[in-house]
Structures are given as structure tokens and as C-alpha cells.
Structure 1
Amino acid sequence: MPISPSFDLAICGAGPVGMALAALLVRRGANAIKPAGIALLDARSIEQARRDPRTIALSYGSRQILEEAGAWPVAATPIHEIHVSRRGRFGRSLMDRAEHGVDALGYVARYGDVVAVLADECARLGLTTLRPALVTGSMEDADGVTVPLEQDGVVTDLRARLLVQAEGGLFGQQADRAVSRDYGQSAIIAWVKVNAPIAHRAYERFTDDGPLALLPQDDGYALVWCVPPTRAEQLLSQGDSAFLACLGEAFGGRLGHFTHATARLAYPLGLNAQAAGTARSVAIGNAAQTLHPVAGQGLNLGLRDAAVLARVLAQDSSPAGLIQYANLRQFDRNATVRVTDTMARIFTGSSPAQSALGLSLGLLDIVSPARKGLAQLMMYGRR
């Protein structure tokens, strides 16, 4: 089997998290790892990645990370306000950018647009990107890691001193990790329009079926609607008119009537987390933790993983650096997983906790420190 060149660092997964890590390492002037020593590996071609229409929610903290990586501005719709409420209950909370002194609480972008900016920056920095390249496994020894790659039907072995796994996939495609929970829900995603939009305001609406999020994007909204799988099948099989009527009934009339919906997709929801690595490998982003989308923290937590790992490897690119990274990320990762998991389990169905949710949201809006604390979590995570 042919042997390809050796690298200091191989990053499996050239998505936003993997490319952000690579760009941050170079831009921080890492002494231990040079641009020529970093290899980005991905199964998709760059053309496929650039065309990916999925919507992603970027926190303000993620914007700061992308700015440092040289990957901002990105075509995105800013979120100025976040409206949180419980369907059919009194009480709500409204978070506003002015209260926090920022341009936006977050941003709504297309996956392909974020990838395109990062890919251009990685190319400008002189990073090696191998795509499409299918990683078929890894073998670790005392000196490094061997990564078998398949490109155009040819298998080669790539060698690296350290390996970062940054490609996690969807919950339904993953093997169970140390902390795993099937929420018994599916997320329906689509892009919708209404006849009475409120510019730059995002909505998180808790219903008996599960959370329903509307994120402002262009002249409409990106929809993430969490429902039981059988309900998801029904909604996917409906025509547009029937679907929009059901959506309007679930969300309410705060934005008038829903008038348009694109083709709808659904994927299963669950928690799958495991921070453990090996002496010469580490997982970040979705490869380390797959979360429920209730608070929109999945990608943002992954970008924080990348930022901290880049900072550590810039100073120490040995196995000891990976241990230091794991210790530094433990608090933020565990807290975010715990908060997201609690919200996903409590804010679904008609449990006693749900009955008190409306009152809690009303109190949250009155108690400024609590509201600010929630906004800080959504913008920056647990630092």
C-alpha cells in the first residue's frame, strides 16, 4: 500500500469546526505546527460542501472565533432579539442585543456559505486539503497515527503525529458513546415565509410536541420543529397547505399566517457524548458531542472546542497538549451538555415542569440577571 507524506496534524472532517481549527493554528503563528504540517481530510468534494443548503445558527462568540480564523464576514442574517415562550401558557422572555452591547446575539447562515469562506482562507494559508478522501480507519502507535485514505479507488496510508476527529455525522448514524440518550423526537427542517415578519427576531417556542424554532433568514425563517417520529412522518407526507396550517396551529399567530414552505427534511434527535481520546487523538465538535438543537449550541460548542485546541496545540503539540485540552474543555462541555439535555427532556410534553414553564419565563423576563445569564450562555457558552 502506498505511503503518503507525513504530517504533524491530520484533521478528519473539513467542515466548519475542522477548518476553523486549522486556520486558527496557522494564524496564531504556532511554532510547533506549520501550515505544511497540517492535513485536512474530508469525504465530500469542496463543490458538494459549498452547495450544502443547511441552515446553521452561529452565536456571537462563534462570530468572534471565525473572525480570528480569518473567516468573517459570512453571508448571514443577524439576530437582534430572541423571543422565548410556551405555547398556550402565560409568560415569555425577550432577549435584546442592546442589553448586551453587541451588534447581534447571533447569526443565521447557510452551511455552504460558512464552508466556502473557511475553505478560501485555508487555501490562502497554504494548508493541504485532501477531498474527496474517505477515511477508513486509524491505527495508533507510540510515534503517531496511520490513517488509511481512499481516493479515486486508490488506498494510501497517511501518517501524522496527532489526529483530530472532527466529523461526527447525525445522531441516527452514530454508534452509542459513553453518554447516550434517544429523545424519541425528530427535527423537521425547512425554510418558511409569513405575512407579518418581525425583522431580526428569532423565536424559541415550546409546544406539547417539543421545541419549535424560527430563525430569521433572508426574507423568511429557517424552521426547526421537534416532534415525535410518527408526527414527523405525518407532517412530511402532507401537502404544503396542510403543513403550513399545522405549523400555524403549533406556533400561533405572532407572525401572522405561514404562506410558504420549501421541501421538508427530518432527522432523529439524541444526545451522544464522549470526551475521551487516546494518547495521540482527540475528538471535537459533533465527533465529541451530538446535542439536541433546543438551544442551538451544537456547532457553537464545536467551534469553542476548535478555538481552545488551537490555543493549546500552538504551545504544545505533544500528547501532553491533548491532555491539557481535555481538562480545559471539561467545564464548558459538561455544562452545555447538561443544560441542553435538561431542556430537551423537560420542555417536551405536558409534564408538571412544563406547566410551570410559562411562569418561569415570565420571571426570567423580570429578573434581569437571570435573563442576562441565559443570553450569555447562548452567546459564549460556559467559559
Structure 2
Amino acid sequence: MKFDFDLIIAGAGPVGLSVARLLAQRSATRALSVALVDQHAITPVGDPRTLTLSYGSRMLLEPLGWPDAATPIQCIHISQRGHFGRMLIDCRAHDLPALGYAVPYGALMRALTGNIGTIGSVRHLKRATARAPVQDAHGVTLPIETERGPQQLRARLLIHAAGGSSARASIEGARYSGRDYQQSALLGLVRVEMPRPCWAWERFTREGPLALLPVGGMRAADYALVWCGAPNDAQRRMACCDDALLAELGARFGQRMGRFIAIERRAVYALRLQRVEPCVQGRVTVIGNAAQTLHPVAGQGLNLGLRDAYALVDALAHAGPTPAALARFARRRRRDRTLTITMTDWLARAFSTRRAERFAPLYGAAFTLLECLPPAKRALVRQMMFGCRR
């Protein structure tokens, strides 16, 4: 039977690009032919988000393209506003150069896109929108809309790596479970009076987590802000003047780095959990944002998607572009997906409800206990950096 490609990857974000590049690198003999369906005309480098990549994700990405703009995170300070208990995670205690990295979305996209157009086994289809696929016993047909009109691509397997309605239609009968956190994240770039190089901060408040990530290099005074709260509060903060917003931010965060003296590049994103089960059906799989969308607390979303990408390419290397490879991939990823999604969801809810005030002393005691039990703390940190590999 004639196929246009061995694989179709719908979605050219960091996870989809990683799959395409990994496939090209891992092919020992004939590279699998890949259609990379990209809804954008050019690489979206102006996205205001700053991504948190774990040290484990750097190990996966470095052979593919690592951005020069990545700022190492060597210490993470975790606390809760108005209550005792804090936890400090230092990379030196884990014999690592960094726990993770703060990376501008555009910088990562530039690094991964790189020379993708010169890889002979990859056909990069830009300004193309995927529709609902149709699979049969032999392959998958994916209708796409392009500037030249509708087309149909035929392949042995389809990998859906982007969210949206087309991803939801990829697996017939899939269960889409989720949760509206009734929160929005205010993003921005803030400057502080007394920076601590390579420190990241996660501060739990009654309305939601507040994170500051170091950006701009080892000596910069700039931090990426992720401030989660009620949607109305996020919109109010989006609209208010700089001085008022910085004063409110200082009241929530405290004086650990002096005053907040400037803010720019504000944006607001709604927050919710969405999970797809099963993530594989026959010749189709969903990974990354198509499979799970997580709350930004602890910065696990993209790291989980990159582990999806690596495990999928490993399964394809062992079993080829077959349904058996996708089934192998699903079995291998089940435990890590479940644990990471459950942990992130719990953190998002535990510290962001009225009940959080009642349990705050218990959470503070848990932070203190982890500080006193290095093996337990080490196990938690390794899960955050590398996931569950079994």
C-alpha cells in the first residue's frame, strides 16, 4: 500500500519539533519520512512565556538544539505566605550544575527549528491546519487545510503534538477529564533591586502560587513572573499602572530581593487541567499539550511532554512505525504521566483554596520535615527533574 510518509506529526511546537529531530538523529539506516504539520508561517518567537526546563530535559534537548539564552536555576526557595515552613533546594546537594533552566519560549523555538528545513527526511508544511484523522487497518489519512486548499496526507502513524479541536478528534471515544482551576496566570518580566543570581522562587499564597524565574543570564536583575490568582484579579493587575502593580507584588512576595522596580511584557492566560485517556488508539497517539495541559505550578508541563517525545522515539526505534510501537510507548509512559499530573493538580488545589488556610500549618510542617529527611527530599527532587523512568 502506498504511503506519503511513514509518520505525520501534527504540531510544530517544542514537543513536535523534538520528535522530528530525534527521529532524524536516531535512524541508524533509512530515516523515517516525516510530515511536520505547522499552523504557523514563521517560528513564533515573540511568545511572552518563559519556560522552566529541568536538568533532565536539558539532557534530552542538548543534542537537538540548546538555546544560548537559557539561565541556570541553581537554587529554588519554596515558601507559603503568612505561615512558617520553607524548603530550599540546592543543586550542589544533588551533584548537578543546575536543577533546571529558565528559557524564553522564542529562544527554545529558534534552537529547535534551526536547520529543520534541511533535514531530508522531514517535510515541514507551514500554514497548515490539521483536521480529524481517519485510520484504517493499514494507515492514517489526515486532512489538512493549506493556502492552496484542502489536502490529504497518508501515513503509517499519526502523532498529534498540539492541543485544539483537531487533537480532541484524533482518538475516537477518548475520555477528556479536566478541571477549571478558576485561576489565570499573570505573566511579566520584572526587575528587582537586589537580585540573587540563579535563584528561583515559588511562593504559595491563598489565591494561588507566585513564581519568579531568573532570566537574562547569570548577573541580570530580571525575573520572569508567573502570578496565579482569580481571573478578575489577574485582569485587574493586567490593567493597573506599574507602580500599583509592583507595590502589590512586593506585598505578596516580601523583601527577599529588595523592591520590585520595573515590569514589562504583561500577559494573562487562563489555567485549567486537561487529560486524555487513552493517549494511544491503533495508529494514532497524542503527546505533549494534546495529551495533557497542566497548571504551571512546579513547571512540569513541557518537561512531561519532552519525556513523552523521547519515549515515543525510543519505541519507534525498537518496533518501527507500527501500532505495536505506540502500544509500547503508552505502557512505558503510564506511570510517569499519572504521577506528574496527580502531583501538579494536588499542588495547584492544595495551596489555592479557602481550605489552604486551615491546612497551612500542616503544609509548613511537611516542608520542615522534608528539610530534615534528605533521602525523601532527594527522591522528590529527582522526580521533578527526571520523572519516573520505569
Q: State the TM-score, normalized to the length of structure 2.
A: 0.91
* Mapping for residues 1-383 of structure 1, pairs under 5 Å: 6-29=4-27, 34-35=31-32, 37-47=33-43, 49-68=44-63, 70-126=64-120, 127-168=122-163, 177-218=175-216, 219=220, 220-276=222-278, 277-316=280-319, 317-351=321-355, 352-383=358-389
Residue 65 of structure 1: how far off its partner (Å): 0.6
Residue 354 of structure 1: how far off its partner (Å): 2.7
- CA deviation profile, 1:338-363 (whole Å, cap 9, x unmatched): 11111111111342323322222122
- CA deviation profile, 1:154-198 (whole Å, cap 9, x unmatched): 11111111000000259xx98995321111111111111110110
Larger deviation, residues 371-380 vs 191-200: 371-380
Secondary structure of the corresponding residue to residue 46 of structure 1: coil
Amino acid at match of 1:370: A
1:23 and 1:121 in contact (8 A); partners too: no
- CA deviation profile, 1:182-229 (whole Å, cap 9, x unmatched): 111111111111101100000000001111000001121111111011
Amino acid at match of 2:159: V
- CA deviation profile, 1:234-263 (whole Å, cap 9, x unmatched): 211211111111111111111111111113
Secondary structure of the corresponding residue to residue 14 of structure 1: coil
Amino acid at match of 1:10: I
Amino acid at match of 1:142: A
Residue 25 of structure 1: how far off its partner (Å): 1.5
- CA deviation profile, 1:300-326 (whole Å, cap 9, x unmatched): 000000000000011212011111110
**Which portions of structure 1, spanning 4 or more consecutive aligned residues, are displaced by more than 6 angstroms?**
173-176
CA distance in 1, matches of 2:119, 2:66: 15
Amino acid at match of 2:234: A
Structure 1 residues 121 and 366: CA distance shift in structure 2, 3 A: farther
2:175 and 2:277 in contact (8 A); partners too: no
Percent identity over the alignment is 46
Secondary structure of the corresponding residue to residue 255 of structure 1: coil
CA distance in 1, matches of 2:7, 2:27: 15
CA distance in 2, matches of 1:117, 1:144: 32
Secondary structure of the corresponding residue to residue 15 of structure 2: helix
Structure 1 residues 8 and 101: CA distance shift in structure 2, 3 A: same
2:176 and 2:276 in contact (8 A); partners too: yes
CA distance in 2, matches of 1:247, 1:147: 47
CA distance in 1, matches of 2:299, 2:261: 25
How many pairs are equivalent?
Answer: 374
RMSD over aligned Cα atoms:
2.0
Q: Which runs of 5+ in 1 are unaligned?
A: none
CA distance in 1, matches of 2:146, 2:176: 32
Secondary structure of the corresponding residue to residue 256 of structure 2: coil
Q: Which runs of 5+ in 2 are unaligned?
A: none
CA distance in 2, matches of 1:328, 1:25: 18
CA distance in 2, matches of 1:85, 1:125: 46
Q: State the TM-score, normalized to the length of structure 1.
A: 0.93
